[in-house]
A and B are shown apart, each in its own frame.
Chain A
Amino acid sequence: EAGVVQSPRYKIIEKKQPVAFWCNPISGHNTLYWYLQNLGQGPELLIRYENEEAVDDSQLPKDRFSAERLKGVDSTLKIQPAELGDSAVYLCASTKGQAGGVDEQFFGPGTRLTVL
């Protein structure tokens, strides 16, 4: 079974430029998460999708960040414009969507963003 796929693995951009990250979850996983992991820190949730609906985006900085999950499968996270402080690893995770917080989240390898 293929795991969570993310691309690109690395991205270097100039500040004020736009950037997009792509995630393909495990087949059949209805719930998809985007996390931000700063250097030396644990992941922090940005947004959670149940199928195509964003059910928790309270931590997403909506002035510059946006996300979509068309057709409830792949997802894209976008930053426009990027700032120096956005340099971090962006992780995608997915679960089957079993209710109650018990489900194991499967993580992708992440996209490491460097903003110059």
Chain B
Amino acid sequence: AQSVTQLGSHVSVSEGALVLLRCNYSSSVPPYLFWYVQYPNQGLQLLLKYTSAATLVKGINGFEAEFKKSETSFHLTKPSAHMSDAAEYFCAVSEPGGSEKLVFGKGTKLTVNP
């Protein structure tokens, strides 16, 4: 069965600082991996996805993530945080050729301090 672990339910950074949100996955087959962002009282929006092409994936709003098979990780980074990045971030996994079911982590709430 697939699963996702997001380390740190809350992360706080200063504006302009590096953002690092951690995600580790478990999957019996090479997975597809996703990062979604959720702003208050809104639905989830896709930031980026890994589908077995390049291991470094660039997404919207300056975010990127690197797939590391040896570490079973897919951490999300952004070089310089902006106040508008404050939101909740979810990592998710699905199986290629499978049911298209997304299995989400518990989420990490990012706070950006001025």
Q: Is the CB of B98 within 8 A of A101?
A: yes
By a CB distance below 8 angstroms, the chain A residues around B95 are 101
By a CB distance below 8 angstroms, the chain A residues around B104 are 42-44
* Other-chain contact of B106, A3, A41, A99 (Cβ < 8 Å): A41
Q: Is the CB of B107 within 8 A of A105?
A: no
Of A60-68, A76-84, A107-115, the one contacting chain B is A107-115
CA distance A3 to B43 in the complex (A): 10
B62 touches A (CB below 8 Å): no
CA distance A103 to B102 in the complex (A): 11
A-B contact count (CB 8 A): 67
A4 nearest CB neighbor, chain B only: B43
B24 touches A (CB below 8 Å): no
Q: Is the CB of A109 within 8 A of B41?
A: yes
B12 touches A (CB below 8 Å): no
Secondary structure class of chain A's binding surface, majority of residues: loop
Q: Is the CB of B96 within 8 A of A42?
A: no
Apart from A31-B100, A55-B99, A105-B46, 20 more pairs, CB < 8 Å: A40-B9, A41-B106, A42-B104, A43-B44, A44-B104, A91-B43, A91-B44, A93-B44, A95-B100, A99-B100, A100-B97, A100-B98, A100-B100, A101-B32, A101-B94, A101-B95, A101-B96, A101-B101, A102-B96, A107-B36
Interface residues of A (CB under 8 A from B): 3-4, 31, 40-45, 48, 55-56, 91, 93, 95, 99-105, 107-110
Interface residues of B (CB under 8 A from A): 4, 9, 32, 36, 41-46, 49, 51, 90, 92, 94-102, 104-107
Q: List 5 A-B contacts (CB under 8 A).
A: A42-B106, A101-B95, A104-B46, A105-B102, A109-B42
